[in-house]
A and B are shown apart, each in its own frame.
Chain A
Amino acid sequence: MTLVKETPPVAPPADAAPARRRRPAVLRWTALRLVALAVLLAAWQAIVAAGVWPRVLVPSPAEVWSAFVEASTVHDGVRGYSGYLLGEHLAVSLRRIGIGTGYAALTGIPLGLLIGVVKPVAVVLEPAVTFLRTLPPLAYLSLLVIWFGIDESPKIWLLVVAALPPIAAATAAAVRGVPGDLVEAARTLGSGPVTLLLSVRLPAALPEILTGVRIGLGVAYTSVVAAETVNGVPGIGGMIRDAQRYNQTDVVIAGIIAIGLSGILLDALFRGLERVTVPWRGRR
C-alpha cells in the first residue's frame, strides 16, 4: 500500500492522453492571441493618450469602436454611413469579390490547364499572365472605367483581372507537377489524352488549384478598395473613400478592420472547404 501511495499521480491512460491535452493547447493559443490583441489595443491607447499625433490622424480605440457602432446602426434618422449600414457595405463588396473570383476561377482554371498541358499556349500566354499579375489594379482601373463606365461591371472586371493570374498560374504549375507515375499508370489502364487530362491530371492537381483560387480570392480582397474608388457606394471600399474625403479617420480604420476580419473569416471557411473537398491533399 505504501508503495502505491508514494507514487505521484499517474498520467491518464495512453489512449485518453491526446484528447485531454489538445483542449488546453487550443485554449492556450487562443489566450495568447487575446493577450497580444489586448497589448496592441493598450499600446494604441497609450500613443493616443500621449498626444504624439493629432486626434484627427490617430483616433482612439474607443472612437473607432463608436464609429464602428454608428456605421452599423440607424442613429438620429441616419442609416449607417453614406446611407448604408456597415454590414450592407461589406455585403456588397463581398458579393463583388465572390462574383469576381468566381469568374476568375471559371476562366483561370481552364486557361491554367491549357498553359500547363499545351506547350505553344504556354509560350504565348504565360508571359501575358505574368504581366497581368505584376500590374497594380489601380493601373488598369482607369482603362476599365473608360471601357465599362462607372457602374457594376468595371468593378467586377477589375476583380476578375486581379484574381485570374494567380489562379491560372497555380493551375498551370499544379498540372505540370502531377506525378508522372500516376499518369503512366492511367495510360497502362487504357486512358486516352482527354481522360488523362480530366480524370487524372485535373483531380491530381485539384488541391493546388484550390489553393490558387484561395490566393485569387485574397488578391480580389486586397483589390476591392481600388475597385470601389469610383462610385463605390455602397461598398466597403467606397465607404472608406468617402470617409477619407471628410477626414473621418475613425471610419476609415473601422472599415479597414471590417475588411481584415471578414478576410480572415473567409480564408478560414475556404480552408475548411478545401479539407472537405480534397481530403487526398498530400496523400499518395
Chain B
Amino acid sequence: MSPAEPDIRLRDVTVRYGPPRNPVTAVADASLTVRPGEFVVLVGPSGCGKTTLLRLVAGLEQPAAGTVEVRRATGVVFQTPRLFPWRTVGGNLSFALARNGVARAERPARVAELLSLVGLPGMAGRRTWELSGGQQQRVAIARALATEPQILLMDEPFAALDAFTRERLQEEVRTLAASTGTTVLFVTHSAEEAVLLGSRVLVMAAGPGRIVDEMTVPLPRAAATDTAALRGDPRFAALRAELAAVTRAATAA
C-alpha cells in the first residue's frame, strides 16, 4: 500500500437520528481524510457530532448520505472502560485475542505483554472492579490493542479520569502512537489535549455538527519527546490559546 493512500476517508457524510419524519441531523456533509501514521484530533463542544464521526469510522453508525471508507483494522477505546466484569483483567484481553484468532496456548504470553505495555504487569488475575478508573482505562486500551489495530479510535478516553492520571495516560498514548506508527483518530473537548496529542486538529461546531476549521500542530512528535517540558513550552501555550480561540469562534458562530 502506498503511503499516500488514506487510512480513513469520509466524503460528504450526513448522519441523522430519531424518527424518519422528524430526524435530528447529528452531522451534515462532513469530509475527512486521515493518512497512515497521522494522529488526528476532533475537538469541539458537546453535541457537535465528533463522537458520531468516530462511531461512523468504527462501523457503529451508518451514514444517511455520503461514503465512509476505512482501509485497515480499527480498535476502539470508549470514554468508559466497558470491561466485561465476568472476566478477569487477563480474561478481557484473552477475549479480544481469541476474536483476533490468537491460539489459546499463546494467549497468556500475549496478555502479559499487553499488560506490561500499559503499565499493569502481573495484573492478569485481578477482577476488573478491583482496579482504579485509570487502571481500568489502561486495560481497555490494552484490550483494543490486543486485536492489533492499525487504526486506533479513541472517544474522550481520559475525560472521566483525574488530572494526574489523565496527564500520564496522555503521555503514554502519545509515546505509543509515535513508537508504533499507529494511526489515531481521537475525540476530545479539551484544546490542551488536542494540541498535546494531535499532529492535526479538526475543529467542529454544533447545529448541525460539521467540521469548520483545521490546524496543523508543528510540535515534536518523536516517542522520546518530554511531554512535561512540552506542556511548559511557549509554542505549546500559543497553539493551545489559538485553538481555544478558534473553537470559541466556531461555537459562537
Partners in one complex: yes
Neighbouring A residues of B96 by C-beta, 8 Å: 189-190
If the complex has contacts A190-B147, A195-B99, A284-B129, are A184 and B85 also in contact, measured as CB distance less than 8 A? Answer: no
**Chain B residue nearest to A195 in the complex (CB):** B99
- In the complex, the answer to whether B85 meets A188 with C-beta atoms within 8 Å is no
- In the complex, the answer to whether A191 meets B99 with C-beta atoms within 8 Å is yes
Query: In the assembly, what is the distance between CA of A279 and CA of B99, in Å?
Result: 25
Query: In the assembly, what is the distance between CA of A280 and CA of B127, in Å?
Result: 9
Query: In the assembly, what is the distance between CA of A190 and CA of B99, in Å?
Result: 6
- In the complex, the answer to whether A189 meets B84 with C-beta atoms within 8 Å is no
- In the complex, the answer to whether A187 meets B82 with C-beta atoms within 8 Å is no
B80 is an interface residue with CB less than 8 A from chain A: yes
Task: For B60, give its contact among A188, A278, A279, A280 (CB under 8 Å).
Answer: A188
Neighbouring B residues of A199 by C-beta, 8 Å: 95
B138 is an interface residue with CB less than 8 A from chain A: no
**Chain B residue nearest to A278 in the complex (CB):** B86
Neighbouring A residues of B84 by C-beta, 8 Å: 182, 186, 200, 203-204
- In the complex, the answer to whether B75 meets A279 with C-beta atoms within 8 Å is no
How many A residues have CB within 8 A of the partner chain? 21
Q: How far is the CB of A194 from chain B (nearest CB, A)?
A: 12
- In the complex, the answer to whether B76 meets A188 with C-beta atoms within 8 Å is yes
- In the complex, the answer to whether B86 meets A203 with C-beta atoms within 8 Å is yes
Q: How far is the CB of A69 from chain B (nearest CB, A)?
A: 48
**Chain B residue nearest to A184 in the complex (CB):** B60
Neighbouring A residues of B127 by C-beta, 8 Å: 279-280, 283
Q: Which residues of A188-227 are within 8 A (CB) of B?
A: 188-191, 195, 199-200, 203-204, 206
- In the complex, the answer to whether B85 meets A284 with C-beta atoms within 8 Å is yes
Q: How far is the CB of B223 from chain A (nearest CB, A)?
A: 26
- In the complex, the answer to whether A185 meets B82 with C-beta atoms within 8 Å is yes
A181 is an interface residue with CB less than 8 A from chain B: yes
Query: In the assembly, what is the distance between CA of A203 and CA of B86, in Å?
Result: 7
If the complex has contacts A187-B60, A189-B95, A189-B99, are A280 and B78 also in contact, measured as CB distance less than 8 A? Answer: no
Query: In the assembly, what is the distance between CA of A182 and CA of B143, in Å?
Result: 13
Query: In the assembly, what is the distance between CA of A199 and CA of B84, in Å?
Result: 10
Query: In the assembly, what is the distance between CA of A55 and CA of B95, in Å?
Result: 67
Neighbouring A residues of B87 by C-beta, 8 Å: 203
**Chain A residue nearest to B143 in the complex (CB):** A189
Neighbouring B residues of A200 by C-beta, 8 Å: 84
Q: How far is the CB of A274 from chain B (nearest CB, A)?
A: 13
Neighbouring A residues of B46 by C-beta, 8 Å: none
Query: In the assembly, what is the distance between CA of A87 and CA of B143, in Å?
Result: 54
Neighbouring A residues of B95 by C-beta, 8 Å: 186, 189, 199
- In the complex, the answer to whether A181 meets B80 with C-beta atoms within 8 Å is yes
**Chain B residue nearest to A188 in the complex (CB):** B76
Taken residue by residue from 240 to 284, chain A's Cβ proximity to chain B (1 for < 8 Å, 0 otherwise) reads as 000000000000000000000000000000000000001110011
Neighbouring B residues of A186 by C-beta, 8 Å: 84, 95
Q: How far is the CB of A284 from chain B (nearest CB, A)?
A: 6
B100 is an interface residue with CB less than 8 A from chain A: yes
B58 is an interface residue with CB less than 8 A from chain A: yes
Query: In the assembly, what is the distance between CA of A188 and CA of B155, in Å?
Result: 13
B74 is an interface residue with CB less than 8 A from chain A: yes
- In the complex, the answer to whether B100 meets A190 with C-beta atoms within 8 Å is yes
Instruction: Give 30 A-B contacts (CB < 8 Å), ordered by A residue.
Output: A181-B82, A182-B82, A182-B84, A184-B60, A185-B76, A186-B84, A186-B95, A187-B60, A188-B58, A188-B75, A188-B76, A188-B144, A189-B75, A189-B95, A189-B96, A189-B99, A189-B100, A189-B143, A189-B144, A189-B147, A190-B96, A190-B99, A190-B147, A203-B86, A203-B87, A278-B86, A279-B127, A283-B85, A283-B127, A284-B85
List 6 tightest A-B contacts by C-beta distance, closest first. A280-B85, A190-B99, A185-B82, A188-B76, A203-B86, A283-B129
Contacts beyond the supplied A181-B82, A195-B99: 7 A-B pairs with Cβ under 8 Å: A182-B84, A185-B78, A188-B74, A189-B75, A203-B84, A203-B87, A279-B127
